[in-house]
C-alpha cells in the first residue's frame, strides 16, 4: 500500500510541471500519489492535460492563495500518512528515493527530512551553485533570512541534522505536521521553511538532510510570477511575534521597521493587530507543546554560522 503523497503547488511553471511529474513517474512508478495545486497560473499552459496523462489529482485556484496555503491545502487532501512537498521544477537522480523517505519517517515520525539538492542546468538557470547542507539563521543580525550552509557538519553520516530546511523537497508525517499546525498564518510567499523548522525544533522534533536522496533543482534567474514585498514584511513580523522571546522579538521588529517601506510596515502591523486574539491563541497553543528552550535553537544556528 502506498504511504507517500507528493504535493506540488505551482504558479506559471509551464512545461517544467510536465518534466517534474514525468520524472516522478519514471523514478517512483505509477502508484505513488501526486497532487498538483495550480495557484491561479496565467500562462495558458494546459496543466489539466499533464494531470490526466500522469494520473494525478489536480486542483486549480481561481485567485492566487500563496505557497503556504497551497502546501497546507495539499497536505489536508492527501490520504497517506506521509507526504513530500516538492517544487514544480525538480528531477530525482535515481530510483528508490520514495522508499528512503518512507523508511526514514517510519523510524523518526517527528522529523522533517530534506533531499539533497543539486543544480539543474538549462538556459534559464543561475550560475553553478556549490553543494549545500540545509540552511541556518544568523540571529545576531536580527534578520529572518535563511542562509545556505556550505559546510558538511558530519561527513561520516548520510543523514545529518540541519537547523533550517531549505531546498524545495522535504517530507514529513501528516500527523506531526498537523500537530505543528503547518504553515498557518503565513500569506502568499516567504518564511515557510523558517516557520516550520523552528516549530519542529522547539516542539522537540528535528530537521534532517538525507544526502543519498539527490534531487536536481532549477535555480532560476527570475521568477515566473510577481514577487510582492508586503507579504515578506507581514510574514517576518508574524514570525517575530509568534515565536521569538521578547528580548529578541523587539530587536527583530525594530530591524524590520528600519529596512522596510513605512506604508508596508504600517499596513502589516494593522493586519496583525486585527488578528491579535487569534495570534495569542496560537502562542498559547505552542507554549503548551514546545519542550525545548529557544536558547537551544540560537546555539544550533550559531554553530552552523561559525562553520562557514
Question: Tens-of-pLDDT digits for all 308 residues of the chain?
Answer: 589 999 999 999 999 999 999 999 999 988 899 999 999 999 999 999 999 999 999 999 999 999 999 999 999 999 999 999 999 999 999 999 999 999 999 999 999 999 998 887 665 555 567 788 999 999 999 999 999 999 999 999 999 999 999 778 999 999 999 999 999 999 999 999 999 999 999 999 999 999 999 999 888 777 777 778 999 999 999 999 999 999 999 999 999 999 999 999 999 999 999 999 999 999 999 999 999 999 999 999 999 999 99
Any idea which fold 4-217 has?
A: Spore Coat Polysaccharide Biosynthesis Protein SpsA; Chain A (3.90.550)
| Grid cell for residue 178 | 498537523
Q: Which residue is listed with cell 491579535?
A: 276
User: HEC string of 39-68?
Assistant: CCCCCCCCHHHHHHHCCCEEEECCCCCEHH
Q: Which of 77, 64, 68 is nearest to 195 (CA)?
A: 68
Contact 78, 5 (CB under 8 A): yes
Question: Residue holding cell 525538480?
Answer: 90
- At 307, list the grid cell: 562553520
Domain ranges of the chain: 4-217, 230-292
Find, among 128, 96, 129, the residue nearest to 115 by Cα: 96
> What is the Cα–Cα distance from 250 to 244, expressed in whole angstroms?
9
Sign of the dihedral defined by the CA atoms of residues 224, 181, 86, 133, in that order? positive
Q: The pTM is what?
A: 0.95
Amino acid at each position: 500500500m502506498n504511504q507517500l503523497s507528493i504535493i506540488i503547488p505551482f504558479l506559471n511553471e509551464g512545461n517544467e510541471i510536465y518534466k517534474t511529474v514525468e520524472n516522478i513517474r519514471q523514478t517512483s512508478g505509477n502508484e505513488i500519489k501526486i497532487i498538483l495545486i495550480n495557484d491561479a497560473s496565467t500562462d495558458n499552459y494546459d496543466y489539466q492535460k499533464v494531470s490526466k496523462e500522469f494520473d494525478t489529482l489536480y486542483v486549480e485556484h481561481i485567485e492566487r492563495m500563496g505557497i503556504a496555503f497551497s502546501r497546507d491545502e495539499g497536505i489536508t487532501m492527501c490520504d497517506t500518512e506521509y507526504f513530500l512537498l516538492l517544487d514544480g521544477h525538480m528531477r530525482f537522480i535515481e530510483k528508490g528515493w520514495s522508499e528512503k523517505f518512507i523508511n526514514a519517517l517510519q523510524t523518526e515520525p517527528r522529523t522533517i527530512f530534506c533531499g539533497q539538492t543539486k543544480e539543474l542546468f538549462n538556459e534559464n538557470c543561475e550560475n553553478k551553485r556549490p553543494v549545500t547542507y540545509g540552511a541556518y539563521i544568523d540571529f545576531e543580525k536580527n534578520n529572518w533570512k535563511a542562509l545556505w550552509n556550505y559546510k558538511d557538519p558530519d561527513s561520516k553520516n548520510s543523514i545529518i541534522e540541519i537547523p533550517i530546511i531549505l531546498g524545495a523537497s522535504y517530507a514529513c508525517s501528516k500527523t506531526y505536521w498537523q500537530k505543528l499546525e503547518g504553515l498557518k498564518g503565513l500569506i502568499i510567499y516567504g518564511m515557510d521553511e523558517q516557520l516550520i523548522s523552528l516549530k519542529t525544533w522547539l516542539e522537540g522534533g528535528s530537521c534532517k538532510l538525507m544526502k543519498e536522496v539527490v534531487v536536481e533543482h532549477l535555480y532560476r534567474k527570475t521568477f515566473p510570477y510577481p514577487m510582492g514585498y508586503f507579504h515578506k514584511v507581514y510574514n517576518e513580523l508574524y514570525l517575530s511575534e509568534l515565536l521569538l522571546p521578547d528580548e529578541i522579538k523587539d530587536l527583530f521588529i525594530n530591524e524590520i521597521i528600519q529596512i522596510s517601506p513605512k506604508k508596508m510596515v504600517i499596513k502589516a502591523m494593522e493586519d496583525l493587530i486585527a488578528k491579535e486574539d487569534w495570534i495569542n491563541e496560537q502562542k498559547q497553543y505552542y507554549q503548551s507543546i514546545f519542550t525545548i528552550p529557544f536558547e537551544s535553537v540560537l546555539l544550533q544556528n550559531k554553530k552552523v554560522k561559525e562553520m562557514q
